């Protein structure tokens, strides 16, 4: 990369033998960006690269959807190929696929686009009748997905035909009253199309023959599905409208004080509080007046351990807690300051970071700590949370309400960072300075060059760097650290990805 590390403004240089000064033109951010774009055009770029480069730099004025995105749920009995179809629609292997029934358990949401329409795609676990334990919870999640969807893709294995379980799902869908598109999957060629035609008997109209594995027929079924979706979700299951109350999720392990905090903020006994851990099962929404503004706080069930290890109601509660996090903009993770940080605490913080939400750490029960405990707590934070030095910290007492007002500036700062967009020219000038001061190490006789950088999105801030060679993980972390030093991003995770591109062959 060239060295666009000169200041943005004009400088004055003294002319030898003349006491006067004359202005010297220094490349500004816009010129740096223009020059680098010209250089980047000499490299092989994919269609995705071109789309990113043509759409980036829109700034903070990006248009927000008028309301929540419409929701399309993919349902069916186990092992009919739902997750394979989801991967085909979103264009990447995101959903876990294995040739055994019951691999998908959670109700998982993915952003999707077809024919210029943005929507939320929901993958569900296989629905079965008369089951108990974990399969029953999975079936319940599928039913929740149907209830929260604007339209449904009902996937049936055409090679097997309609089964008794499929008939049960038909009754469930009729009761829900949602538009249904019938997908006859595993139709790999013309010979299987006769099998698909037999599914007319289910009463949902034309069955669309599809091979999710090979992509056959997926365009036609998507055209039909998107045609049934409204412009804005009627269930509120997608992206929330702009301008509403900021959404805050209260997370933490059981009995850490989440419900007590919500009650104190609300000024009433809004949530049941009991010494027994795990009292809260359902996420509870509450509009809270705080700092002169209205916020939407969500009290969630305590996260005991990894979701796939929980059972019964705890399993279901954990799924709903994750769903609440997905709908939030910022998470307040409560930690018990009077006790040693646990593995669960660290996992919850990591879950929030991986979800891309802004983060505030609230050390609860601060009034129960003495100087010795605070000393050890600081050492625990430095050791266990060393990866997240950017996380904002507030010391509070949910029981007494002490310092709860400090949540407001912390939430504001975290959300402001979460929404921050760095102009493309300024970003590339910054990268030029970083490379000039600390170039990437030479490996194998070659030194990769940073060709261009852009911020692909906000919420959270995501940066894409085009380079002539692979950038080592340590160097990527160094760039992330310098980004934080230069632009802040206090309280928000950021992502830095690298796309290696080669020069066009002449």
Could you report the per-residue pLDDT of 155-201, keeping only the tens digit for each?
Answer: 999 988 989 889 989 988 999 899 999 999 999 888 778 888 889 99
Give the pLDDT confidence score for residue 82 in this predicted structure: 87
Is residue 234 one of the residues assigned to a domain?
no
Give the pLDDT confidence score for residue 374 in this predicted structure: 94
Conformation bin of residue 82: beta by default, left when phi > 0, alpha when psi is -120 to 50: alpha
Residues 282 and 402 in one domain: yes
Residues 44 and 82 in one domain: no
Which residues span the domain enclosing 402? 246-417
For the chain, state the CA radius of gyration.
27
Is residue 78 one of the residues assigned to a domain?
yes
Give the pLDDT confidence score for residue 436 in this predicted structure: 94
Residues 92 and 224 in one domain: yes
Give the pLDDT confidence score for residue 26 in this predicted structure: 44
Give the pLDDT confidence score for residue 6 in this predicted structure: 38
Would the CA dihedral through 79, 83, 85, 88 be positive or negative? negative
Give the pLDDT confidence score for residue 451 in this predicted structure: 95
Residues 318 and 412 in one domain: yes
Is residue 65 one of the residues assigned to a domain?
no
Total domains in the chain come to 3
Secondary structure in 3-state letters for 313-376? HHHHHHHHHHHHHHHCCEEEEEEECCCCCCHHHHHHHHHHHHHCCEEEEEEECHHHCCHHHHHH
Residues 251 and 310 in one domain: yes
The residues that bridge with 334 in the sheet, in sequence order, are: 362
Residues 404 and 460 in one domain: no
- Quick check: 398 and 260 in contact, CB under 8 A? yes
d(C-alpha 418, C-alpha 94), whole Å: 24
Residues 402 and 434 in one domain: no
Give the pLDDT confidence score for residue 138 in this predicted structure: 57
d(C-alpha 107, C-alpha 43), whole Å: 41
Residues 379 and 325 in one domain: yes
Preceding omega of 460 cis (within 30 degrees of 0) = yes
* pLDDT beneath 70, residues of the chain: 1-27, 55-67, 92-108, 130-139, 141, 236-243, 268-285, 299, 301-321, 323, 506
Domain boundary among 417, 432, 451: 417
Is residue 92 one of the residues assigned to a domain?
yes
Is residue 196 one of the residues assigned to a domain?
yes
Residues 314 and 413 in one domain: yes
- Quick check: 210 and 85 in contact, CB under 8 A? yes
Is residue 292 one of the residues assigned to a domain?
yes
Give the pLDDT confidence score for residue 98 in this predicted structure: 38
CA distances from 365 to 323, 335, 388, 500 (A): 27, 9, 22, 49
Please tell me whether residue 74 adopts helix, strand or coil conformation: strand
Give the pLDDT confidence score for residue 87 in this predicted structure: 84
Residues 335 and 358 in one domain: yes
Is residue 111 one of the residues assigned to a domain?
yes
Residues 343 and 403 in one domain: yes
> What DSSP letter does each residue of 181-218 carry, written as one string?
EEEEE---SGGGHHHHHGGGGGSSS--EE-BTTTTBTH
The CATH number given to whatever domain includes residue 20 is 3.30.300.20
Tokens of 261: 């905090």
Give the pLDDT confidence score for residue 93 in this predicted structure: 56
Give the pLDDT confidence score for residue 236 in this predicted structure: 57
Give the pLDDT confidence score for residue 421 in this predicted structure: 95
The CATH number given to whatever domain includes residue 294 is 3.40.50.300
d(C-alpha 359, C-alpha 364), whole Å: 15
Give the pLDDT confidence score for residue 262 in this predicted structure: 82
Is residue 239 one of the residues assigned to a domain?
no
161: number of Cβ within 10 Å: 14
Contacts 24+ apart (CB under 8 A), 303-312: 303/251, 303/252, 303/253, 303/254, 303/344, 303/347, 303/348, 303/351, 304/253, 304/254, 304/278, 304/344, 305/344, 306/347, 307/106, 308/105, 311/133, 311/134, 312/133, 312/137
Domain boundary among 228, 263, 280: 228
Percent helix, strand, coil in the chain (nearest 5)? 35, 20, 40
Domain boundary among 390, 417, 444: 417
Residues 425 and 408 in one domain: no
């Amino acid at each position: 990369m060239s060295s666009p590390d000169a200041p943005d403004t004009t400088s004055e240089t003294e002319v030898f033998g003349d006491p006067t000064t004359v202005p010297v033109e220094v490349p500004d951010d816009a010129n740096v960006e223009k020059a680098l774009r010209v250089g980047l055009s000499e490299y092989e770029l994919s269609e995705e690269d071109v789309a990113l480069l043509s759409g980036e730099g829109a700034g903070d004025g990006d248009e927000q959807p008028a309301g929540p995105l419409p929701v399309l749920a993919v349902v069916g009995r186990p092992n009919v190929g739902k997750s394979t179809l989801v991967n085909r629609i979103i264009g990447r292997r995101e959903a876990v696929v294995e040739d055994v029934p019951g691999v998908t358990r959670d109700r998982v949401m993915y952003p999707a686009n077809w024919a210029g329409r943005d929507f939320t795609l929901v993958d569900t676990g296989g629905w079965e009748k008369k089951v108990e334990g974990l399969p029953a919870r999975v079936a319940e999640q599928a039913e929740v997905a149907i209830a929260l969807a604007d339209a449904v893709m009902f996937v049936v294995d055409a090679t097997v035909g309609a089964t008794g379980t499929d008939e049960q799902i038909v009754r469930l869908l009729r009761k829900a009253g949602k538009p249904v598109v019938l997908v006859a999957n595993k139709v790999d060629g013309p010979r299987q199309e006769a099998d698909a035609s037999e599914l007319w008997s289910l009463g949902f109209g034309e069955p669309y023959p599809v091979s999710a594995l090979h992509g056959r027929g997926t365009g036609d079924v998507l055209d039909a599905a998107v045609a049934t979706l409204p412009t804005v979700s009627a269930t509120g299951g997608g992206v929330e409208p702009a301008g509403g109350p900021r959404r805050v999720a209260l997370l933490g392990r059981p009995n850490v004080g989440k419900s007590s905090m919500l009650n104190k903020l609300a000024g009433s006994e809004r949530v049941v509080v009991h010494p027994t851990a795990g009292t809260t099962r359902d996420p509870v929404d509450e509009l809270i007046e705080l700092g002169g503004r209205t916020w939407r706080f969500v009290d969630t069930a305590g996260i005991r351990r990894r979701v796939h290890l929980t059972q019964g109601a705890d399993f279901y509660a954990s799924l709903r807690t994750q769903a609440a996090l997905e709908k939030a903009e910022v998470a307040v993770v409560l930690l018990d300051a009077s006790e040693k940080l646990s593995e669960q605490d660290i996992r919850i913080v990591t879950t929030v970071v991986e979800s891309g939400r802004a983060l505030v750490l609230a050390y609860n029960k601060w009034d129960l700590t003495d100087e010795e405990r605070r000393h050890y707590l600081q050492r625990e934070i430095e050791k266990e949370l060393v990866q997240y030095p950017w996380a904002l910290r507030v010391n509070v007492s949910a029981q007494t309400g002490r310092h709860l007002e400090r949540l407001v500036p912390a939430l504001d700062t975290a959300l402001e960072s979460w929404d921050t967009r760095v102009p493309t020219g300024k970003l590339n000038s910054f990268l030029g300075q970083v490379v000039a001061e600390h170039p990437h190490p030479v490996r194998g006789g070659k030194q990769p060059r940073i060709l261009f950088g852009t911020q692909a999105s906000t919420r959270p801030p995501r940066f894409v760097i085009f380079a002539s060679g692979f950038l080592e993980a340590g160097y990527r972390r160094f760039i992330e650290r310098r980004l934080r030093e230069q632009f802040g991003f206090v309280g928000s995770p950021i992502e830095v990805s690298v796309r290696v591109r080669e020069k066009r062959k002449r």
